[in-house]
Chain A
Amino acid sequence: MNTIILSEVSVRVAVDGAPAPKTLLQDVSLELTEQRIAVIGANGSGKSTLLRLLNGLVAPSEGTVSVNGADSTRDVRRVRSKVGFVFTDPLSQLVMPTGREDVELSLRRSIKNSTERRARAEAVLERFGLLDLADQSIYELSGGERQLLALAAVLAVNPAVLVLDEPSTLLDLRNRELLRRTLAGLEQQIIMSTHDLGLALEADRALVVDDGRIVFDGGPADAVEHYRALCAAEPAQGAR
């Protein structure tokens, strides 16, 4: 089991021309041990920042983040080898022109022998049913296939935790279903932000983020209820 601990974390960024830095996340303390955790909240609420903290893509301005005892700033390499990260847009994540090459790239660090690397990449692609598409240009794949490929490339190095930032936002209904089934079959701990409330309801625990704070933490049904009430009480304000 994994233990991710955020203690009194705040994230601020400097804004050009503004006198004070902007706060993206304020005083967040969490202990994440559940297998399936959903993070919900409006656009710009701080969801992405929260997720990015978990594998060291964002450093806390105050407080600490640790994954199984490894600190996310001091020990960022260890943290990243444990925490796989999947972005919303697979095209921003896939760095090689074909699926095979992208998965092999993931493996370059851990497997030096090229024959062995090739074999392992094939096994990973096979597992996700992507072997037939392995040599196609990533631009010729469907959105769902691309997202699966991004997932496969991240899982190739076998992380203990999988963080997904709105993985289904760009997908149609059928591909969402495919992604949902694939995720359900994984043994990794999964922490995922989503606008798909149906997906959130399947989690073991759900966090609601609003304006840089965790405003609800608990069962997914109550979380979704809370989020709905929040959205109803406060009409969208545009640039927040």
Chain B
Amino acid sequence: MRRHGVLIPNYVPGDSIVHRTPLWLKFLLVAACGLASFLVVDWMVSAAVLAVMCGLFLLTGAGVERLARSVWLVTPILAAIGAVQWWQLGGPTAARIVLNVLVCVVAAAVLTVTTPVQALLDGVVALSRPFKRLGADPERFALTIAIMLRSLPFIAGAFSDVRDSARARGLERNPRALVLPVFITTVAYARQTGDALAARGLGEPAD
């Protein structure tokens, strides 16, 4: 297994002002960016917001390289979307849509790069505590989220391995033979993870 283009970058220890900002405020920022991307109609506003987000990211001291890496993964999709939108709706609209996606990506990166996973988990646990009465189990919920985030690079890697092996063997005619290994690996990985959690006494329902 190898590390794969990380859409959501890992925590980078630091002492910047962004690191010291309370988690709820950073979370609000991410949520606001998600919402704003559908309210903003001027691409120049989007560009300005994106510049601010990139500024915040660099302020954390995580570096340009990490920023580029987290954006790099969405570029193929954005290029495709951008091209089609340009053709259908014109330049400014295409620019706005592409920039808004980038805002979301960078905002999420600012959050994860300055927050250790354990702190995120504590945040999720705190947020979901009100639902405890409805039978929710905040600790297990938070654990599930952590496992999901941890699995993303692995699964993305499995998908790209498929592309590589298809290329290596020459284009595979049978789509089943092409994609099945990804899903077998995925399920086996899920099982292994479940076993590892069980063996460590994590993720079992509380009595």
Contact = CB atoms under 8 A, between A and B. Distances in A.
Contacts of A57: 195, 198-199
A55 interface: yes
A93 B202 contact: no
Contacts of B207: 77
A168 B201 CA distance: 23
Interface of B: 1-3, 10-11, 13, 116-119, 121-122, 139, 143, 146-147, 150, 189, 192-193, 195-202, 204, 207
Interface residues of A, number: 32
For B2, B3, B195, B201, the residue with the greatest tally of chain A CB atoms inside 10 Å of its CB is: B201
B200 A106 contact: yes
A101 B117 contact: yes
B116 A101 contact: yes
A96 interface: yes
A69 interface: no
B207 to A, nearest CB: 7
Contact of A109 (B117, B122, B189, B201): B201
17 contacts: A80-B200, A84-B199, A84-B200, A85-B200, A93-B196, A93-B200, A94-B196, A95-B196, A97-B117, A97-B150, A101-B116, A104-B118, A108-B202, A114-B118, A135-B11, A137-B3, A153-B200
B118 A92 contact: no
Nearest to A101: B117
Interface in A88-136: 91-98, 101, 104-106, 108-109, 114, 117, 135
A142 B197 CA distance: 23
A139 B199 contact: no
Contacts of A3: none
Given A95-B193, A101-B118, 8 more contacts: A57-B199, A85-B199, A93-B199, A94-B196, A101-B117, A105-B118, A109-B202, A157-B201
A137 B201 CA distance: 23
A91 B1 contact: yes
A135 B10 CA distance: 10
